[in-house]
Structure 1
């Protein structure tokens, strides 16, 4: 890039003013491809595009570096011959080829818009004059009159001899800076120049579109240096041009130049929002104040939370209606649902039961014979199962007792309130009631309390079960402590064995799991065969050996409810088959 000559003296009047007239970049590129076989077709397509040039103000848009991957199939196929030559120029880096491609994209958009409006007007029978008027009003920027556009261009290019007047009307720093460029024919300068004209035009259109409010006075520009410009905006031609200049070029106006550049960027973004709010897609976009936006966002979040809460409550209610007293439908939100308890029950036998079994082995009585049968340790098997069975019986009794207490307490509280209300109601009705009521009314009054009492009992029972289950995690710990203190010494007389960590872990898990089983509605059940019963392979598996008759139960089978379907298989030790002599 050619250097910048910064004279120490003020700029003389003989310096040529910066030209802002739009050039036909497409025409310039086409001249370089006159010998191309597709030139005639391409030029014809270019002429067709020019028919829509008046469909709004011609603007090249933001000037950025050409990238082939951003070219769409629609852009390639809309005017294929013309697009092919322009893309070839961009690949070969022909002068102003990037600007020519940007101009092509702009003309394509305007040609599509003009075609749609023309077809619409022809179908509705409107005259050509009305079509032109609607075309001008179809875009937010195009609503500006030709006079306003000329005024904006005159402001963008300060004419000679009126320097003071122009300086008061608009900021001239960036235009003056580009006016000092020696090599104005370079492609880099041309792209930066067109980018500045586009940004300045957006600034002026935004200001003229909202004359009652100066929008840019109510916003803060936080750009004082190149590093403050967002990364996704650094591909702009003007940014690259300014970034390549040395700081001394700015003549002590470094921050002012970049603040002006930031103002233009902001104006361009605001204008884009205004187009979306007032253009054809105004039903999709809307512009609101920041405070109002935050208020709406907070209100939306509040309403969303309320809707989620109501949805959760409704789902919980529906789930309760389905799962209440129906074990065949599982509540997936319940971490202690039957299927999950079945998994925990199986895991208890694999882990804690095995550890407790190993802990009890060394404590066998020395007097016992150690034959083949003793290798299976039937006494230990019976002892471990008795702990499980006793835990389940204990939890079943305690859970029933707890439910009864809860129901009595709730009914007692409701009874106190209902007595007070009944007394007040009775005293009021006594004044209006006939001294000799009919017998039919007495029968009806006797039936109503019984129905009310039945509904009350059902409600109390349902909520008592819900309360009991909600507190089951805490109450399970309490019941475990009670069992260890009251029941375990009768099962394990040796205190040393009772204090073994492996035995303690097994007993704790047994009580907690049995407690959760009893919290189900209806409660789950353990199936325990007796000695001498025939082997039921549907409920139990063999432990150690095979046989037809049960010697002892090693691990009870878990049922969904009494006489219900199987949740987890158990294990039994069958009787040893008699050996043939």
Structure 2
């Protein structure tokens, strides 16, 4: 008997029996195996909602939206990558130009007329056209029967080509600068007036030197880029004037003319580099510098005759290609 005065039964084992929940729950609670109708309806409705959310039509719409978003992101990434590449190339090009400007030690490997290539071509002239011209001049006879005389006249031709091309390059640069300044300050505008007449308006501005501060650099670069356009006329001018004045005793032959034309082309291209490349012509009595000149026929310590000039990257600059000299 408990404190409330009620009796509790105990089985033979001494354990208390499990309570009957259906008897202990209040009458207002239905049995556990019965589900109210409204709750059953809610459950069924939830099942239908789940089925609708997983329906093929809805999944297709999700996949469609996702594919559009993916394509948009891919296109955006592609455009951004293109912009980055363009800006990188522009920055690289600008940095390259700044680095190469007035710095001959930095070579543009895409330029077939860069200094190292010109040095190689100049060496090839000595190996090929010089040898052909040597045989040609030797066959003339007379005073040119002596080899030393032939060697000297061929070297003298190269030196005159060097002087001629250097003088012309300076004149051409000044002329181009003058043309450009005149075109930018002598303002001319043609238009049709209201009465139908063609009219030209002209106004001359005073020259502003500050406005043309960068002009010499741009003109030199333009000369270098377009130098080959001047070469054919330079070859004709040299042969018509310089050659006839200094080498009239030597008749012009096809192989000799080829030698001259090759020298004019290569030397002019070297002189329009920035800074200009430099040809070193040793004179009689100079010490034989084997680091710059190869001996011609024999070795010695003192130079007797220049055979072929050495090529320097610029005046007092590093050696590009060796020359040749005849020692005493």
Flag whether TM exceeds 0.5 (same fold).
Answer: yes
Question: Partner of 2:282: helix, strand, or coil?
Answer: coil
Given the superposition, is the C-alpha separation of residues 461 and 350 from structure 1 closer, same or farther in structure 2, using an over 3 Å criterion? same
Question: Partner of 2:139: helix, strand, or coil?
Answer: helix
- Residue 381 (structure 1) shift: 0.8
- Residue 285 (structure 1) shift: 4.8
Question: Partner of 1:498: helix, strand, or coil?
Answer: coil
Rounded Cα–Cα distance in structure 2 between residues aligned with 1:566 and 1:519: 18
- Residue 144 (structure 1) shift: 5.8
Q: Is residue 113 of structure 2 the alignment partner of residue 359 of structure 1? A: no
Give the conservation status (yes or no) of the 8 Å contact 2:185–2:204.
no
| Counterpart for residue 163 of structure 2 | 393
Given the superposition, is the C-alpha separation of residues 538 and 503 from structure 1 closer, same or farther in structure 2, using an over 3 Å criterion? same
Question: Partner of 2:213: helix, strand, or coil?
Answer: helix
Give the conservation status (yes or no) of the 8 Å contact 2:144–2:150.
no
Deviations 1:370-413 (A, max 9, x none): xxxx5xx1111111111111111100000000001111122223
| Counterpart for residue 319 of structure 1 | 96
| Counterpart for residue 498 of structure 1 | 252
Aligned residues: 264
Given the superposition, is the C-alpha separation of residues 284 and 338 from structure 1 closer, same or farther in structure 2, using an over 3 Å criterion? farther
Alignment of 1:183-332 (within 5 A): 285-286=70-71, 304=82, 314-332=91-109
Rounded Cα–Cα distance in structure 1 between residues aligned with 2:153 and 2:295: 18
Rounded Cα–Cα distance in structure 2 between residues aligned with 1:380 and 1:309: 57
Long gaps (5+) in structure 2: 1-46, 188-201
- Residue 312 (structure 1) shift: 5.2
Question: Partner of 2:257: helix, strand, or coil?
Answer: helix
Rounded Cα–Cα distance in structure 1 between residues aligned with 2:244 and 2:300: 34
Rounded Cα–Cα distance in structure 1 between residues aligned with 2:264 and 2:144: 32
1:564 corresponds to which of 306, 317, 320: 317
- Residue 332 (structure 1) shift: 2.7
Rounded Cα–Cα distance in structure 1 between residues aligned with 2:262 and 2:215: 31
| Counterpart for residue 335 of structure 1 | 112
Q: Is residue 186 of structure 2 the alignment partner of residue 416 of structure 1? A: yes
- Residue 358 (structure 1) shift: 2.0
| Counterpart for residue 228 of structure 2 | 473
- Residue 514 (structure 1) shift: 0.7
Alignment of 1:59-70 (within 5 A): none
Deviations 1:248-304 (A, max 9, x none): xxxxxxxxxxxxxxxxxxxxxxxxxx96x677xx599549xxxxx9xx79xx79x95
Given the superposition, is the C-alpha separation of residues 525 and 285 from structure 1 closer, same or farther in structure 2, using an over 3 Å criterion? same
- Residue 510 (structure 1) shift: 0.4
Q: Is residue 273 of structure 2 the alignment partner of residue 520 of structure 1? A: yes
Given the superposition, is the C-alpha separation of residues 466 and 311 from structure 1 closer, same or farther in structure 2, using an over 3 Å criterion? farther
- Residue 477 (structure 1) shift: 2.1
Deviations 1:132-181 (A, max 9, x none): x9xx99xxxxx865xxxxxxxxxxxxxxxxxxxxxxxxxxxxxxxxxxxx
| Counterpart for residue 239 of structure 2 | 484
- Highest relative contact order (Cα 8 Å, sep 6+), 1 or 2? 2
Give the conservation status (yes or no) of the 8 Å contact 1:553–1:572.
yes
Q: Higher strand share goes to which structure?
A: 2
Q: Is residue 320 of structure 2 the alignment partner of residue 543 of structure 1? A: no
Give the conservation status (yes or no) of the 8 Å contact 2:310–2:323.
yes
Given the superposition, is the C-alpha separation of residues 278 and 413 from structure 1 closer, same or farther in structure 2, using an over 3 Å criterion? closer
Long gaps (5+) in structure 1: 1-132, 138-142, 146-204, 213-273, 288-292, 369-373, 424-448, 576-581
Rounded Cα–Cα distance in structure 2 between residues aligned with 1:553 and 1:456: 46
Question: Partner of 1:408: helix, strand, or coil?
Answer: helix
Question: Partner of 1:475: helix, strand, or coil?
Answer: helix
- Residue 327 (structure 1) shift: 1.7
When normalised by structure 1's length, the TM-score is 0.40
Rounded Cα–Cα distance in structure 1 between residues aligned with 2:267 and 2:279: 9
- Residue 354 (structure 1) shift: 1.5
Q: Is residue 158 of structure 2 the alignment partner of residue 381 of structure 1? A: no
When normalised by structure 2's length, the TM-score is 0.68
User: Comparing 355-364 with 314-323, which one deviates more in the overlay?
Assistant: 314-323
- Residue 330 (structure 1) shift: 2.0
Give the conservation status (yes or no) of the 8 Å contact 1:535–1:550.
yes
Q: Higher helix share goes to which structure?
A: 1
Question: Partner of 1:573: helix, strand, or coil?
Answer: strand
Given the superposition, is the C-alpha separation of residues 284 and 337 from structure 1 closer, same or farther in structure 2, using an over 3 Å criterion? farther
Question: Partner of 1:534: helix, strand, or coil?
Answer: coil
Rounded Cα–Cα distance in structure 1 between residues aligned with 2:84 and 2:242: 50
Give the conservation status (yes or no) of the 8 Å contact 1:492–1:498.
no
| Counterpart for residue 405 of structure 1 | 175
Q: Is residue 127 of structure 2 the alignment partner of residue 350 of structure 1? A: yes
